[in-house]
Amino acid sequence: MTTTLLVPTYQHMLQTLSGLLDKVQQQMPDRAETLLAARLAADMFPLAAQVRFAAYQAQEAVFRLRGEHVPEWLDAIAAEGRNAGDAPGTITDAKGRIDAALSFLADLSNDALDAGAALPVAIELPGGMNFDLTGEQYVRDWALPQFYFHVITAYAILRSQGVEIGKADYVPHMFGYLRSGTMAAA
């Protein structure tokens, strides 16, 4: 169950994030790169960080639920996110992080994470806060909420900067479930 819940969720929402960045490039080509430094509030991370944290967290969960240490290459993505205020990179960089995460997730077997539900997971945050959870608790109470936080924060930053996006841009995967003949007229 863990794999069939997490992996498609991460894939859908990472594709959403990539689509949002496409909208930026289409609507504001002259501002696209500068929007990566945009924030909702002065004490929040910028858009570039939100993208990197989402890519990081989608992959981090895989290692945690397999009882493995998070590898250095993945920790480097989190560090990029923490430093994105000074080095936001480019839209191409951001989309590259998303594409790499999607590729990583695509290589997982259908049951790759299922044994992780009962595993102990320890989360150690900067500042000394530590949390001990089971894999199931980790997925429900940390992995999914944290991931969604960064995706929706990226969406909110873009909206606040004038990018014309709406609910359909946030959940485009839902159109795959649309009942025939029920599309509202624009």
Model pLDDT, residue 178: 86
Model pLDDT, residue 111: 87
Token digits of residue 126: 């900067």
* Cα end-to-end span (Å), the chain: 38
The residue ranges of the chain whose pLDDT is under 50 are none
CA distance linking residue 47 with residue 153, whole number of Å: 8
Give me the torsion for CA of 75, 100, 53, 60, rounded to 10°: -50
Mind listing the domains of the chain with CATH numbers? 2-175 (1.20.120.450)
Model pLDDT, residue 183: 80
Model pLDDT, residue 16: 97
